[in-house]
Amino acid sequence: MPTITINDRRIEAEEGTTVLRVARANGFKIPTLCYHEALRPIGACKLCAVEVISPTGKSRILLSCILKVKEGLRVITDSPSVMEARKRAFQNLLTMAPESKYIRELAKEHGIDLGPPPDDCVRCRLCIRVCNEVVGAGALKMEKRGNLSYVVPTEGLCIGCGTCANICPTGAIKLEDKDGVRTISIRDEIIGVHQLIRCEACGKYFASQKFLAHVEQRTAAHTDIKEHHKYCPTCAKLFSDRIRSLEKLRRI
């Protein structure tokens, strides 16, 4: 039987067997996604790359699932060149399946860092600025985590207005109103959960109590506006239009 060398370890292997099968049978870990023992290997995923050293010292990156054993073959499964080739292969797979947790877990298992998963946030800071400068709640901030900065909530400061979700250009901030409860989140982090109150005119859920209290405080000097805080925007506009019409009639 031919003798090959894998990571400086001499191994006897059956003629015609692939390097991948020999390596795995001898405890060497090589990742694959497109390989199955019941099917002919085609090297589609390119994760099984290994470095092959020729007798003259030249090296090449080849796919171990289709590379056949032959006498004197020298293989390295974890060289810097191999790791770089695998990283490129993983990154290529992620362009086709960016949400795949399995690909990221497989890469991590084999010592390859693909960075954080995509979260749709482009770090434009519109949400932070509108919350600070317009709403005045200050419920969002940038926070450094590892090598990246993330938009994160400041606990307890969200008032449930939803302005951050409305202004987000990519939809990274989610707002869900369900059964009278509003949930605002980014990635898997909750920004705020709020019980909604009903409009006194139409009965529709429309705003959180915390948001209305915030508006009451900021418009305390405007008594004509305060009256509308118990109505949804549609009903408030309707009543405002009626009030204006009545005022015009009184002037006639």
Do 240 and 184 share a structural domain?
yes
The domain total for the chain is 2
CA distance 249 to 243: 10
The pTM (predicted TM-score) of the whole model is 0.62
CA distances from 14 to 6, 40, 192, 214 (A): 15, 17, 62, 76
Note whether residue 119 is domain-resident. no
Query: What's the pLDDT at 146?
Result: 76
Which residue range is the domain that position 240 belongs to? 126-250
The CB-side HSE value for 201 (13 A sphere, CA atoms) comes to: 14
* pLDDT score at 189: 93
The reported pLDDT for the residue numbered 249 is: 52
Q: Is residue 104 part of a domain?
A: yes
For tokens 């995923």, the residue is 45
Same domain, 46 and 75: yes
pLDDT, position 217: 86
CA distance 4 to 72: 5
Q: Within the chain, where are the H helices?
A: 19-25, 80-96, 101-109, 126-129, 163-167, 209-218, 223-226, 233-251
Domain harbouring 64, CATH code: 3.10.20.740
166 and 211 in a single domain? The answer is yes
**Within-domain flag for 121:** no
Do residues 66 and 168 share a domain? no
Query: Taking the chain (252 residues) in consecutive chunks of 10 residues, what is each chunk's mean pLDDT?
Result: 96 95 98 96 97 94 97 96 97 91 94 85 96 97 89 96 97 96 94 95 93 85 64 82 57 56
